[in-house]
Amino acid sequence: MEVKDIENKFPQTSEPDELPENKQAHDTIRNMVLRFAIDLNTIVPDGYDKDSAISYLGHIMKAAHAGIANG
């Protein structure tokens, strides 16, 4: 999987009226998940298990973003 494909799976998320501290928290979560996904992509062979692991990271990111938004 190409790095650009992984980056597309984990887009930046922010709202125009978002508090600066929330934007920073969202960006931090996204960057942590993105780095981990890129590392997984390097280490884990292509296949179902790698796809599942990266997909689960997407769920983790969405849950973390929801937690920040719902504060």
pLDDT the model gives residue 7: 92
Which has more pLDDT, 67 or 16? 67
Residues present in the chain in total = 71
**61: number of Cβ within 10 Å:** 22
pLDDT the model gives residue 39: 97
Backbone angles phi, psi at 15, to 5 degrees: -105, 150
Whether 40 shows a pLDDT value over 80: the answer reads yes
CA dist., res. 7 & res. 49, Å (int): 19
Q: What is the pTM of this model?
A: 0.85
- Show me where the domains of the chain are located: 21-70
Q: What is the pLDDT of residues 5-28, one digit of tens each?
A: 999 998 887 677 778 888 899 999
pLDDT the model gives residue 64: 93
